[in-house]
Structures are given as structure tokens and as C-alpha cells.
């Protein structure tokens, strides 16, 4: 499910069962992250899938990348794997206006 920056941030803030998932590369991750995010680089192929398999499917996942394309793809993969709630950040990190942390 695609959410606007504002929808994504406000829903995340109110969600006590939330996990923030960053699907960018290590280099992109090092440029700054949304606080509390965990990294799982979608470009790692099967490694990406293995890491997804370790996650709790009962959680709500807030997924982002740089521009929104890879995170939309990640949400689609997660749905196929049985994750009920995966939310894509439209516009990605480059349009993010919320808090940013250094990993």
C-alpha cells in the first residue's frame, strides 16, 4: 500500500506494532536514515529474501528507499511472502521531511 509522506509519518507515529524497513544500499544508508530503521538491501537478491524470512509477519512494516520504486517492489514481495501490512513511502527518502539520523 502506497502512503504519502504525511500519511506514512502519522500512521507510523501512532503504530505500536511498527517496524521501519530501509531497502536501500549500504552507501545510501550511510547518507542518513529514518530513526529506528533496519537495513535490508533489496539489491542483495536472495539475501534480501532470507532476511525477510527472519522478520515477524505480525508486525506492520513501513518501507522506504531513495525514491519509492524499490520500496514499492519490496512491499509487493512481502505481500507475496505473507506479510499482511507493508506500507510504501511514496517519494522515498529524498522527499522525506521528518527526522533523519546517522546510522
The active-site residue out of 12, 65, 86, 89 is 65
Nine-digit cell string for 36: 529506528
Task: Please tell me the distance from the alpha carbon of residue 73 to that of residue 23, in angstroms, as a whole number.
Answer: 10
CA 73 from centre of chain: 11
Give the chain's length. Answer: 103
CA dist list (Å): 61 to 14, 27, 81: 13, 22, 13
> Is there a catalytic annotation at residue 75?
no
Positions marked active-site: 65
Amino acid at each position: 500500500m502506497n502512503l504519502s509522506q504525511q500519511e506514512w509519518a502519522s500512521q507510523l507515529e501512532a503504530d505500536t506494532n511498527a517496524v521501519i524497513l530501509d531497502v536501500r544500499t549500504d552507501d545510501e544508508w550511510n547518507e542518513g536514515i529514518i530513526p529506528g530503521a533496519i537495513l535490508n538491501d533489496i539489491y542483495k537478491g536472495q539475501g534480501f529474501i532470507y532476511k525477510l524470512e527472519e522478520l515477524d509477519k505480525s508486525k506492520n512494516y513501513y518501507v522506504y528507499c531513495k525514491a519509492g520504486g524499490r520500496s514499492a517492489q519490496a512491499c509487493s514481495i512481502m505481500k507475496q511472502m505473507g506479510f499482511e501490512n507493508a506500507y510504501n513511502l511514496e517519494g522515498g527518502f529524498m522527499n522525506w521531511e521528518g527526522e533523519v539520523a546517522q546510522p
